[in-house]
Structure 1
Amino acid sequence: MKISSANIPEEQSGSSLGSFTDTNSISGDSDLDAVCAVGDQNEVIEELKTTIKRNLSQISDLGAKLKLNEIHLAYQKDKVKDKDELIRVLQDSIELIKKTNKIAINQVQKSETGFGTASNDNNFQKQKDSLESITLKDDVNNLAAQLKEWKCQAKNSDESHGKDDHLEKLQAQFDKCKKQNSELMVELDELKAKIIEYQKTEDGLRKQVSELEDNFLSVSAKLKESCEKLSENTLDIFSSSNKKAIIPLNYTRNPKIRVIERDGMQPFMAVIEDIPSAGSGWMVIQCRIDEDQMTFGVEKEAKYRDGFGDINKSFWLGTDIIHKLTTSQCHELYIQLVDFDNVSAYARYDHFEVGSREEKYMIKSLGSYSGNAGDAFRSLQNAPLKLVPINKSLYFWWLNAQTNCNLNGTYKNATRFGFYWGSWSLDKRGCILKSCRMLIRPKPK
């Protein structure tokens, strides 16, 4: 194939394994978020347990103090009862003393009537004064002693009332702590229920992670097996084991360009692409980019046989190369299409084979179709490659009586000789295309 020099664009490509790894990375982050949430709940529960233990200790101390105060209160109540009894006894004693004094005075008055002299009057008066003095003195002493005792008891009673107030405060504090403890117990029960729910969720996530790991191992094993099979059937884009790989001079900026060496064929350069949805190792055999709008019309038939165009832009790899590759082993065909609304679609065939020059490079096989562009290429099966003269130039395409697509046609031409894909048609003219690529690779066994 003859190739013109041009700048080499940088392109990006993905792989199925990269996409799968990104998906599993996102699931791992969700799982780590769920596990961190469970750890925070455990810390909150431990703090609540510590607070509950501290409150229970305070409640126990307050209960002990309350019991002591109740004992002291009972003692003070007994003392108050004794005081009331003592007051009653003293009142009785006072009444008795009054009665005794009255009786003594009556006796003295009776004795007074039996005496008539002044001396007797003086003695009686002395005895009366002495008796009254003794009686009053005793009453005063007794009352002073009782008053002193009452003051002591009143003081103790005031202290008892103060302790009663303190006891009431302790009781109020005890009730408050008890209420807080009840609220904490309710909150603890709610947290326990949430923990159980989180544990169930965690168990479910662990199960899902385990299943994902098993699936990942299974997919990895299958991918490895597929890669090994693909490596056995992919084009050998490097030199044989006895030779070093040929470097494509002036094309080293594009790592996708390789020098291909195959048995019975002259070395040639080709673009090797990876398609994220279809795997790696695809060789581009035809490319039309809308920017350069290069016509696929040529002056001689040999151009299509040997190839033409710029391998960095629009080109045709060569019909003779396509024939030799597809007949050496079973190949797949992948067609990428883009319209002027920048909508892309693809058509894929699992057994693509092109005949020899003597067979007019007829499409001998397409195999099964898959994709979302429609099976328009099926209309070309068993069709020979024919010469079509347009505007004093020649271009080649596989033509049948019913041809539903033309990927080598004239750019922006709405006829059957234009650049179109018929299965996208909204009318009988077909859909005019903006760009396309045709790629092949050995079919994995």
Structure 2
Amino acid sequence: MDIDGGGWTIIQRRGFGSYGTSRQINFNRTWVEYVQGFGNASLDYWFGLENLRGLTKHCPYELLINMTNWEGENRYALYDRFYIGSSLDLYRLFVEAHSGTADSLLYHHKKQFSTFDRDNDDNWGEANTNCAETYGGGWWFGDCLRSNLNGVYFQNDGFLRKDKLNGIRWNSWTGMKESLKMTEMKIRPKCGFFSF
């Protein structure tokens, strides 16, 4: 892609399909589906954990997240270091050095990926909640989250999008209960700048 300086690979998109139609992709998927990837790259889309690991294992990448709320406001988060671990490490997230207008991902640094059928989160308390099952989608859940861009997509209905904990979340901007309209995660190589 040639936007934002060029050289980007989109790894996730939400809100580019039509809500309530076959073009709107369900992100509450199994472990296998998150590993392999799903959706349509020009609409709603998940690149796949194994593909993402293949790209980021030999070269440092930067991650740019663009977000839009239902009022048409935009925010972004840029992370200078981004990669994920192998399947043996359950695709653990490594993300550092934030800049931009909203950060909610640094909390998830060093967290393993979870889905409703593979509970790898850090929530081991008395309730022992499976965060992916509770909040929807697959994500690098901790105990449980400050963000979840793979949560349930709610249309532009004030009650639905503002009163749900399981929506597309970015807490530092929209709080705990308001779901976003559009998100896009993209990565770009920074080979030679630093090593991990």
Query: Structure 2 length normalisation: TM-score?
Result: 0.76
Q: 1:355 and 2:104 equivalent?
A: no
User: How many angstroms apart in 2 are the aligned matches of 1:283 and 1:336?
Assistant: 13
- The residue number in structure 1 matching 2:22 is none
Q: Contact between 2:15 and 2:153, CA under 8 Å: does it hold in 1? A: no
Post-superposition CA distance 1:182-235 (Å, at most 9, x none): xxxxxxxxxxxxxxxxxxxxxxxxxxxxxxxxxxxxxxxxxxxxxxxxxxxxxx
Letter in 1 for 2:47: L
User: How many angstroms apart in 2 are the aligned matches of 1:296 and 1:385?
Assistant: 14
Q: 1:316 and 2:46 equivalent?
A: yes
User: How many angstroms apart in 1 are the aligned matches of 2:72 and 2:104?
Assistant: 19
Letter in 2 for 1:334: L
- The residue number in structure 2 matching 1:398 is 140
Between structures 1 and 2, the one with greater helix share: 1
- The residue number in structure 1 matching 2:149 is 407
Task: Kindly report structure 1 stretches of 4+ aligned residues shifted beyond 6 Å.
Answer: none
Q: 1:367 and 2:96 equivalent?
A: yes
Post-superposition CA distance 1:159-201 (Å, at most 9, x none): xxxxxxxxxxxxxxxxxxxxxxxxxxxxxxxxxxxxxxxxxxx
User: How many angstroms apart in 2 are the aligned matches of 1:312 and 1:387?
Assistant: 24
Flag the 1:318–1:291 CA change in 2: closer, same or farther, 3 A.
closer
User: How many angstroms apart in 1 are the aligned matches of 2:185 and 2:110?
Assistant: 18
Residue 388 of structure 1: how far off its partner (Å) = 2.7
Greater Rg by CA: 1
- The residue number in structure 1 matching 2:169 is 420
Q: SS of the residue aligned with 2:139? A: strand
1:157-172 mapped onto 2 (5 Å cutoff): none
User: How many angstroms apart in 2 are the aligned matches of 1:382 and 1:396?
Assistant: 15
User: How many angstroms apart in 2 are the aligned matches of 1:296 and 1:432?
Assistant: 14
Q: Contact between 2:16 and 2:43, CA under 8 Å: does it hold in 1? A: no
Aligned pair partner of 2:107 in 357, 363, 379: 379
User: How many angstroms apart in 1 are the aligned matches of 2:177 and 2:103?
Assistant: 13
Post-superposition CA distance 1:125-153 (Å, at most 9, x none): xxxxxxxxxxxxxxxxxxxxxxxxxxxxx
User: How many angstroms apart in 2 are the aligned matches of 1:383 and 1:366?
Assistant: 10
Residue 328 of structure 1: how far off its partner (Å) = 1.3
Q: Percent identity?
A: 30
User: How many angstroms apart in 2 are the aligned matches of 1:325 and 1:353?
Assistant: 9
Q: Contact between 1:424 and 1:431, CA under 8 Å: does it hold in 2? A: no
- The residue number in structure 1 matching 2:76 is 346
Post-superposition CA distance 1:98-138 (Å, at most 9, x none): xxxxxxxxxxxxxxxxxxxxxxxxxxxxxxxxxxxxxxxxx
Q: SS of the residue aligned with 1:305? A: helix
Residue 418 of structure 1: how far off its partner (Å) = 1.7
Q: SS of the residue aligned with 2:55? A: helix
Residue 387 of structure 1: how far off its partner (Å) = 1.4
Q: 1:297 and 2:28 equivalent?
A: yes
Any stretches of 5+ residues in structure 2 without a counterpart?
A: 20-24, 118-131, 155-160
Residue 402 of structure 1: how far off its partner (Å) = 4.9
User: How many angstroms apart in 2 are the aligned matches of 1:305 and 1:402?
Assistant: 21
Residue 366 of structure 1: how far off its partner (Å) = 1.4
- The residue number in structure 2 matching 1:280 is 6
Letter in 2 for 1:366: V
Q: Contact between 2:17 and 2:44, CA under 8 Å: does it hold in 1? A: no
User: How many angstroms apart in 2 are the aligned matches of 1:304 and 1:366?
Assistant: 19
Higher RCO (CA-CA < 8 Å; seq separation 6+): 2
User: How many angstroms apart in 2 are the aligned matches of 1:375 and 1:395?
Assistant: 20
Post-superposition CA distance 1:361-407 (Å, at most 9, x none): 111x21211111x221111111111113789xx73111011511110
Query: Structure 1 length normalisation: TM-score?
Result: 0.35
User: How many angstroms apart in 2 are the aligned matches of 1:301 and 1:368?
Assistant: 28
- The residue number in structure 2 matching 1:185 is none
Q: 1:331 and 2:61 equivalent?
A: yes
Between structures 1 and 2, the one with greater strand share: 2
Q: SS of the residue aligned with 1:386? A: coil
Residue 291 of structure 1: how far off its partner (Å) = 3.9
Aligned residues, how many? 164
User: How many angstroms apart in 1 are the aligned matches of 2:151 and 2:87?
Assistant: 21
RMSD, aligned CA: 2.0
